[in-house]
Amino acid sequence: MKLLSLEKGSYGHQAAKTLDPNAEISFCNGNLHILERVSLGEGVGVVPIENSTEGLVTEVLKGFWLKEKNAETKDVCVVGEIQIPIAHCLLVNKGAGETHTLTVSSHPQALGQCQNTLSRMGITMRVPSISTARAAKELAESGDLTRAAIAPKVAAETFGLEIRAENIQDSPSNATRFHLVSTVPARPTGKDKTAVLYQLPHHPASLRDSIDLIADLKLNLYSMHSISLGAPGVYAFYIEFEGHQDDADGKKIIEALTKITDRRMRILGSFPRSVE
């Protein structure tokens, strides 16, 4: 199996290796690039979906929502998940010694997961990067002794950097859940989740009605988030509920949601629940 992940030395790379240490891994220039390559049938993608500290990775869900199918692409669906612990390191160039760090770069999620620790360190200039690995790579290429990057330990080895501090994440139980995405849907296993994105009409109780559909069947609602779509007051809702879309209860929920959504709904896929 060919896996598509973020750059070498990233947490996405770590998740892919955890899934299958022997898999061929091809690196991509961002999460949207992963989704694009999956839609072209180039492999199974590994994309972050939720962090225990910073919450949902909306970039990925907006990628699902906005992507339009064409003659060359296929629908991308979620077929699995994996959760890994996230231990951030503060990396600097060799020779930095005790030089005071003025600026730190990393993926916005990583910066958010370490914001309190960075404040205690007196590092106030924080620059977003496309990934933790990209931040480490750009730091190494710059040679700047006043800059740092937040990235996994393996990135220090990959790019020849020094670790100034380990485990700088604010929460000791910090973890990120990744989705596996493919063009081939997953079959029911009896221990599944289904992920759906949808919009609702603007009238009282419309959100409650969508939740009640799941509650009435006595199924667990594992996750629910609102996602801003760029215009004032325009939101989509993301949910993960117990069961497979092809099960009897799953079909009932999908059918009922279809009736109450006045705009768009996208079934992202059904997939087996992960074992942490």
pLDDT in tens, 71-124: 678 899 999 999 999 999 999 999 998 888 989 999 999 999 999 999 999 999
- Average pLDDT taken over every residue of the chain: 91
Averaged pLDDT for residues 199-228: 87
pLDDT over threshold 80, residue 148: yes
Structure tokens at 103: 């600026």
- What is d(CA 157, CA 141) in angstroms, rounded to the nearest whole number? 14
Residue 209 gets the label, from left (phi > 0), alpha (psi -120 to 50) or beta, of: alpha
pLDDT tens-digit profile of 110-129?
999 999 999 999 999 999 99
- For the chain, what is the largest distance between any 2 Cα atoms, rounded to a whole number of angstroms? 63
Structure tokens at 109: 């999620």
pLDDT over threshold 90, residue 214: no
Q: CB within 8 A of 222, min separation 6: which ones?
A: 193, 240, 241, 242
276 falls in which pLDDT band (50, 70, 90)?
very low
Structure tokens at 195: 């992920």
Averaged pLDDT for residues 129-151: 95
Domains and CATH numbers, the chain: 2-85+175-182 (3.40.190.10), 89-166 (3.40.190.10), 192-272 (3.30.70.260)
In this predicted structure, what is the pLDDT of residue 70? 67
End-to-end CA distance of the chain: 21
In this predicted structure, what is the pLDDT of residue 123? 93
pLDDT over threshold 60, residue 18: yes
- What is d(CA 214, CA 90) in angstroms, rounded to the nearest whole number? 43
In this predicted structure, what is the pLDDT of residue 164? 95
